[in-house]
Amino acid sequence: MDQNYGVAEKSFDVEKIREDFPILQQEVRPGVRLVYLDSTATSQKPKRVIETLDQYYREMNANVHRGIYQLSEQATEAYEGARKKVRAFINAASWREIVFTRNTTESINLVAATWGRTNLGPDDAILITEMEHHSNIVPWQLLAQQTGVKVVAVPVLPDGLLDMEAFDRLLRTEPIRLLAVTHMSNVLGTINPLRELVDKAHAAGALVLADAAQSVPHLPVDVQALDVDFLVFSGHKMLGPTGIGVLYGKRALLEAMPPYMGGGDMIRRVRLSGSEWNDLPYKFEAGTPSIGDGVALGAAVDYLTAVGMDRIHAYEQQITAYALDRLAEVPGLTVYGPAAQRKGGVAAFSMQGLHPHDIAQLLDAGGIAVRAGHHCAMPLHEKFGVAATARASFYLYNTFAEVDTLIEALNNVVSKFAL
């Protein structure tokens, strides 16, 4: 292994971190250790998160915001405590700006259905990009069908970066009211210059929704420094459980938006003649929430904070640079996306003469879990002229040795199929 890559690994005790993740200790088949390279789809969970879920149901389970009895107060305190941890984690100005949802997808649909339906019409346009996940495309298309708003996309350049000239031009020539853009691509790994995009969008009179599903788990994100209007992410990609996600929104915007779903908890007063809405964030949280999952997301935030988001990001940049250099050694293999400095821990690739599904299956024989397919980004794959790619992704618990295992397996594939 090259000396340059080793430095960060030494200051970052990945073996100690791995001890916290029970699933990584297991063998997928007798004698074959799991090499989990699909954290972009969902991350593994540390003991602390699993134990928090377990403890919640053993010792604390009760509905929140309702009971006067002690257990319900405890559950409410734990759930609201998690909200405050999330607030601090992304540096929102107030806990009232943190709305719990199921995931990134629900958060985006919420904004489309409330802010979008109230504020957008046939004379307006929404700017997305060609590198968006389907969950940051389809809700806007649905909104377009309902309101007549136009959806326009910024092209992606062959090197995997956004075409900034086209971005500037579209802001000038289209009536853009909202920029909905991913902070980090789940296929190319591209980290977009979010603050620059926000400043330009604001100057053109547009709001910005950042899809931070891939950035919040992997790098420090400060919503005030970025000046984003909305920011969305999923708990399950940041060491937390499935079933809990976040919508951050600037308070004045959230205050002005109508509710999303109607029901319990989101109201202050209900009369048969009409109802009044609850305060933020409860106005957007109808029904019994995913309480245990929320509490465990708080534990995930604690874990990430204790390791340090800047250290996680630095380590991932090292391991990604190493992986990209090693992947370049494999004959006939193409990696999509920019160089390591501009991307997070994602390497989507194709191999000449082999379908990505076959690659994933052959790797699985060696216990290596990678995803194959369009990764919910069909327009991006179309742009690059491929139907699918194989994708390896890295998180704080992946090792340089696992990258070596991947490369060895890929080289075996090449020799076996005489590619």
Active site residues: 376
- Taking the least distance from each CB to ligand 7TS, the nearer of 242 and 334 is 242
Assign residue 375 a region (left: φ > 0; alpha: ψ between -120 and 50; beta: otherwise).
Answer: left
Here the tokens at position 310 are 């800047």
- Taking the least distance from each CB to ligand 7TS, the nearer of 114 and 389 is 389
In degrees, to the nearest 5, what angle opens at C-alpha 261 toward C-alphas 256 and 263? 110
Task: Please report how close the Cβ of residue 109 comes to ligand 7TS at its closest, in angstroms.
Answer: 9
- Taking the least distance from each CB to ligand 7TS, the nearer of 56 and 233 is 233
- Cβ-count burial of 26 within 10 angstroms (0-12 exposed, 13-18 middle, 19+ buried)? exposed
Pairs from 212-216 (Cβ < 8 Å, separation ≥ 24): 212/183, 212/184, 213/104, 213/133, 213/182, 213/186, 213/237, 214/40, 214/182, 214/183, 214/184, 214/185, 214/186, 214/344, 214/346, 215/183, 215/184, 215/191, 215/344, 216/89, 216/90, 216/183
- Cα dihedral 158→159→160→165 (10° resolution): -80
Task: Please report how close the Cβ of residue 53 comes to ligand 7TS at its closest, in angstroms.
Answer: 18
Task: Please report how close the Cβ of residue 269 comes to ligand 7TS at its closest, in angstroms.
Answer: 33
Task: Please report how close the Cβ of residue 46 comes to ligand 7TS at its closest, in angstroms.
Answer: 19
- Give strand pairing partners of 393: 346
Beta strands in 83-183 (DSSP E): 98-101, 125-129, 150-154, 176-182
Compute the distance between CA of residue 300 and CA of residue 43 in angstroms, rounded to an integer: 11
- Give strand pairing partners of 269: 276
Sign of CA dihedral 384, 387, 390, 393: positive
Compute the distance between CA of residue 137 and CA of residue 209 in angstroms, rounded to an integer: 12
DSSP 150: E
Task: Please report how close the Cβ of residue 238 comes to ligand 7TS at its closest, in angstroms.
Answer: 10
Task: Please report how close the Cβ of residue 205 comes to ligand 7TS at its closest, in angstroms.
Answer: 25
Task: Please report how close the Cβ of residue 182 comes to ligand 7TS at its closest, in angstroms.
Answer: 5
- Taking the least distance from each CB to ligand 7TS, the nearer of 35 and 414 is 35
Nearest CA among 288, 205, 281, 195 for reference residue 246: 281
Half-sphere exposure of 285 (CA within 13 A, CB side): 28
- Taking the least distance from each CB to ligand 7TS, the nearer of 245 and 281 is 245
Task: Please report how close the Cβ of residue 60 comes to ligand 7TS at its closest, in angstroms.
Answer: 25
Instruction: Give the footprint of ligand 7TS on this chain (CB under 6 A).
Output: 40-41, 103-105, 133, 135-136, 182, 186, 211, 213-214, 234, 371, 375-376
DSSP 183-227: SB-TTT-BB--HHHHHHHHHHTT-EEEEE-TTTTTTS---HHHHT
Assign residue 263 a region (left: φ > 0; alpha: ψ between -120 and 50; beta: otherwise).
Answer: left
- Taking the least distance from each CB to ligand 7TS, the nearer of 177 and 371 is 371
- Taking the least distance from each CB to ligand 7TS, the nearer of 103 and 278 is 103
